[in-house]
Structure 1
Amino acid sequence: MQREYYTVLRNRILESYHRLNISNEEMMLLIHFLTFQQAGEDFPAISLIGRRMNVKDQQLYDMIQSLIERGFLSIPSYKNDQGKSVEYYSLDPLYQKITQLGEVDESERFKEAKATKEGEVFDMIQVEFGRQLSPIEYQKISDWFKKDGYDPDVVKEALKESVLNNVYSLNYMDRILLNWSKRKQTQANDSVGFSKQKAQTQDLPPVPVTKWLNK
């Protein structure tokens, strides 16, 4: 009975190749390269691959050239035991592209999560204030995130402090955030913790409620 061989293929390749604008035929060519490599043949004859794929040699050469130019394939070389230079097909450039794509995806997921948390802050403030925010107020809150670098959870805590003090004002929240920022408390998971931050809020000068409500 003839022995069966298997090709080990990373799932990320199949999941990502269309996003990298690699055609089905180009992907099949790359899979054939993997198959030969895993069988110990790093530089298979084009004619052999052509017979397997039922594709003319010139078409395969064109695909290989295109994959190289687009940064998905390379043909490096090494010295064998006899000192002879041996070329081989390397898919390392493809793996690097897939890794970069994964990093971009992770970055996008982080941005989406952050945007969601920031959106929650806007909603929470409007609910607690009992009214819609003005364009100027929207800009002020956005600046807390973009310019001042405040974590959304920190802004939520500042809102809680304002509500506890019965002061519904972004200016008052800004004073709280500034007070915490001076103590380097810009992240919700800082080691000092919010129990200490809340206690530090007492350092703020007393503010008449009516004065803040009118702002």
Structure 2
Amino acid sequence: MRFDLQVFLDILMAMPWGVWQTLCISFLSFLGALVLAFAVAMIDYYDIPFLKGPSRVYLSIFRGTPLIAQMFFLYFGMPVLFPAFRSLSSYWAGVVSLALNMGAYMSETLRGALNAVPDGQREAALTIGMTEGQLMRRIVLPQALRIAIPPLSNNLIDTIKGSSVVFTVGVVDLMAVAKMKSAVGLRYFEGYAAAMLVYWLIITFATRVQRRLELRMGRAYRR
């Protein structure tokens, strides 16, 4: 069976909805992961005793198990014991499980960025009468953000890639469109080649944006 260019182009033309779903899921998951990662990083930064234990358990579970297993557990397993989860759609099951998974890895990025700010700056700020809130907003976060941008950009790219498994719970994303279109006439080479091309274009664009953002944020520190 030879490569069929027309089939390849037809599958590409059918992908816009799947691409939109993939981008939406990735964006929502990344935002959720960022909030969760920041909370975990702050627990570690301020060394909050009664929250450190639960945060470590969370990190251990979601770093130590595959994303697809977490997604299946949330969507298929949790409703068995907790009926409230039966109303959880496959879309939001994908978003939540991806956010929980990526949040576990992004927390290490933010923790490292926060700890990279010299302690001397913290001590000097407290000496002149700054509150903890002012110290965090005006001194720690601006510097930590600059440090965290490159790895967080990589985390965003990983989130986009990770979203490719949400089709396994019934979400019609980019991979689902490729799978369904490939099944028509058994044109799997063309279908998955189209999916890889689109993912490559998305990731390439995200990488270019990342580099521009890094350059812009670094200008103030090069002057």
Q: If the TM-score is normalised by the length of the shorter chain, which range does it land in? A: under 0.3
- Higher RCO (C-alpha under 8 Å, 6+ residues apart): 2
Q: Which has the larger radius of gyration?
A: 1
Q: Normalising by structure 2, what TM-score?
A: 0.27
